[in-house]
A and B are shown apart, each in its own frame.
Chain A
Amino acid sequence: MREAEPGPVIIVDGLTARFGEETILEKISFEVYRGEILCIVGGSGCGKSTLLKHMIGLLRPAVGRVLVGGVDITAADDEQVNLIRKKIGVLFQSDALLASMTLGENVGLPLDGFAGLAPRTVQLIVRMKLGMVNLGGYENHYPAELSGGMRKRGGLARAIALDPQILFFDEPSAGLDPVNTAELETLIRGINTGLGTTMVIVSHQVELVLRIADRVMMIDSEEKGIIATGTPDELRLSASDPRVRNFLFRSDTERGEGRA
């Protein structure tokens, strides 16, 4: 259950991202609203993951601001950024579970910040989170002993350990088979509905994006910016840009051509 705060939870304002002399993204502006699932799509190398890293404060923009929960994380000091990071969770493409720790220890890691919690409470919270991602009973397993799909779900359990207000996903379905992708999709929906979590998903798996997104935003590497934004249905009906149609609705087009 979320405390009602007005306005968008994330504001990206005129963000320009550069690596050395190379500009990856130029003057990008958009907002993410409470409780929505925003999917950021685009071809390989268009800067999706770079944008995500700017939104979680791992990279600082060359120009522009990123406001998360009203705090400009590009100008905030480390303490403020750390406070903001307690309100967000991130599921990395490679799951990023610490190999030297058991799954339970990994999921309990974010709870280390709360000195007053009894070990039994931490244990129950870990079990609860593992149960939420259908990994009940696996707390004493090491990441290396789990399948790719299980590790991904373990990473998700760690990301939601503190019931973050915002969850970021970097290519959540990368390396997963359709069954595991469907399971992850169900979990994402369940957490979005149950916990009211705002979600920002970077992915190039179009089928997943079109099924799950409340809003889709497409980035193009040539434009170095956003070329389309809207709900999947809005884009399907009104997007005229061939790059958008080709990327998001290629199968529709192919079916149409097939019928013709």
Chain B
Amino acid sequence: MKMTVSEPGYTLTHSEEGGGLVLTLSGRISVEDADRLLTDMEAVLSEQRVGSVQIDLADVSYIDSAGVLTFFRLEDQIRQKGSDYGYTHVPSRIRGIMALIGRAGLEKPPLRSERTHEGIIETVGDAGFKVYCDFKALMTFLGDLLAAVVYLSGHLREVRWGDVLFYMRRTGAEGFPIVGLISLLIGLIIAFMSSLQLKQFGANIYVASLVSLAIVRELGPIMTAILVAGRSASAYAAEIGTMTINDEVDALVTMGFDPIRFLAVPKLIATAIVLPLLTLYSDLFGIAGGLIVGVVGLDLTPYTYLQESQRTITLFYLLSSLLKALVFAFVIAWIGCQRGFQVRGGVAAVGAATTSAVVTSILLIVIVDSVFAVVLHYVG
């Protein structure tokens, strides 16, 4: 929204009286005229060499504080040159505005300097320090969370089971449709792309093995975890973050509750229960996607396809997939809640925490999955 004013609302005339210059203003002076008025008055002054300047305001019909500010700026310039400066016929309303403007404050330097661009070394150092602080905060919260879990495992009646059920529904039941749909489509894509190659060798049947192995060992757990991280880690961070800035977390503390036991543990338990279930569900839909391609595009019977899949998936693969899902669940709840508790300041910080919760949890999920890939290779 930009607004420009073509014609000034004021008229400026000047005359010499008794060796001094009189600037007579009339009309309307508002914020949009401020710079032009200053330029006009400076132009008149540059042409004249006078000992004093008087500004006559008798015919000014309207002026705002930005207009009065212009007079003060001109006054400073004139006084610096050693000339006298004054006003004549100042209406009482203009006096009111002049009194309201604190002259001293105009040149008062800010208590804090403006943001300046940092050098590369400073930027890198700052980023490194932030990563260190972030890591420290994550580890501290991890310790607190584990301590709370250990405590509550011995005091099961203190667990807020109502909240656990609520978050199971939010994280699990409400996530079912999207997890099922994406898994089905991924199964379809893998089966279709692999069939293009395997068809050439008449090895259509191996599409079933490839799809089920890829889905159960890798894609099922990691895709489900990423989806849940996107839906739930962000929701946990936003919820706890909002509670933090609204002093609700402090209120819990003053009532004698441990916020981690009260807020984080139910989310952790709920995620740990539903993520393995969602992973199984994702595995089933992924295999079903492959089955569709196998039956429709590769002329395999459903029985042959499923038998081949069953032969490929061992109990070890299935259990390792569920173990991964359990660890991913821990990561999601840990990061989501920690980012929420970390929120300080206003609502903008909640948005930042939400984004950070998703990014950090997905990053950690991928790192943990890489570790699993190496370890399971040797164990399996």
Contact = CB atoms under 8 A, between A and B. Distances in A.
Interface of A: 1-3, 82, 99-100, 104, 111-118, 121, 124-125, 127-132, 136-144, 162-163, 190-191, 193-196
Given A1-B60, A140-B113, A141-B111, A117 B102 contact: no
Contacts of A190: 100
Contacts of B111: 137-138, 140-141
B306 to A, nearest CB: 55
Given A138-B111, A144-B344, 10 more contacts: A1-B91, A104-B110, A114-B32, A117-B32, A124-B69, A132-B101, A137-B109, A144-B349, A163-B65, A195-B100
B295 to A, nearest CB: 53
A195 B69 CA distance: 13
Given A1-B93, A100-B348, A116 B108 contact: no
Interface in B16-71: 28, 30-32, 34-36, 38, 60-66, 69
Contacts of B73: 124
B298 interface: no
Nearest to B36: A116
A163 B93 CA distance: 13
Given A117-B34, A137-B109, A196 B114 contact: no
B156 interface: no
A124 B106 contact: yes
A194 B35 contact: no
B97 interface: yes
Contacts of B108: 127, 131, 136-137
Contacts of A125: 31, 34, 65-66, 69
A162 B62 CA distance: 14
Contacts of A137: 105, 108-111
Contact of B105 (A128, A142, A191, A194): A128
B256 interface: no
Most buried by A among B30, B66, B114, B349: B66
A99 B63 CA distance: 32
Contacts of A99: 345-349
B96 A196 contact: yes
B346 A136 contact: no
A128 B348 CA distance: 28
Most buried by A among B35, B65, B345, B346: B65
Given A115-B3, A195-B100, A163 B64 contact: yes
Main secondary structure of the interface of B (DSSP, over half): mixed
Given A1-B93, A136-B105, A139-B110, A117 B31 contact: yes
Contacts of B104: 131, 136
B142 interface: no
B375 interface: no
Contacts of A1: 60, 62-64, 91, 93-94, 96-97
A138 B113 CA distance: 10
B310 to A, nearest CB: 55
A35 to B, nearest CB: 10
A129 B69 CA distance: 11
A15 B32 CA distance: 35
A136 B35 contact: no
Contacts of B4: 114-116
Interface in B303-359: 344-349
B89 interface: no
B100 A163 contact: no
Nearest to B112: A140
Contact of B1 (A104, A112, A144): A112
A125 B101 CA distance: 10
Nearest to B91: A1
B157 interface: no
Most buried by B among A1, A125, A127, A191: A1
B28 A3 contact: yes
Closest 4 CB pairs of A and B: A131-B105, A194-B100, A1-B93, A136-B105
A127 B66 contact: no
B3 A113 contact: yes
B116 to A, nearest CB: 11
Nearest to B29: A1
Contacts of A127: 105-106, 108
Contact of B93 (A2, A128, A129): A2
B5 interface: yes
Contacts of B64: 1, 162-163, 195
B31 A194 contact: no
A116 B35 contact: yes
21 contacts: A1-B64, A99-B347, A99-B348, A114-B3, A124-B69, A125-B31, A127-B105, A127-B108, A128-B65, A128-B106, A130-B105, A131-B101, A131-B105, A137-B110, A137-B111, A140-B114, A142-B345, A143-B346, A144-B349, A190-B100, A194-B100
B374 interface: no
B5 A194 contact: no
B120 interface: no
B110 A140 contact: yes
B193 interface: no
B102 A132 contact: yes
B28 A196 contact: no
Contacts of B110: 104, 137-140
B2 interface: yes
Interface string B149-164: 0000000000000000
B379 interface: no
Contact of A121 (B5, B35, B62, B348): B35
Contacts of B1: 82, 112-113
B255 interface: no
B121 interface: no
Given A138-B110, A195-B97, A2 B31 contact: no
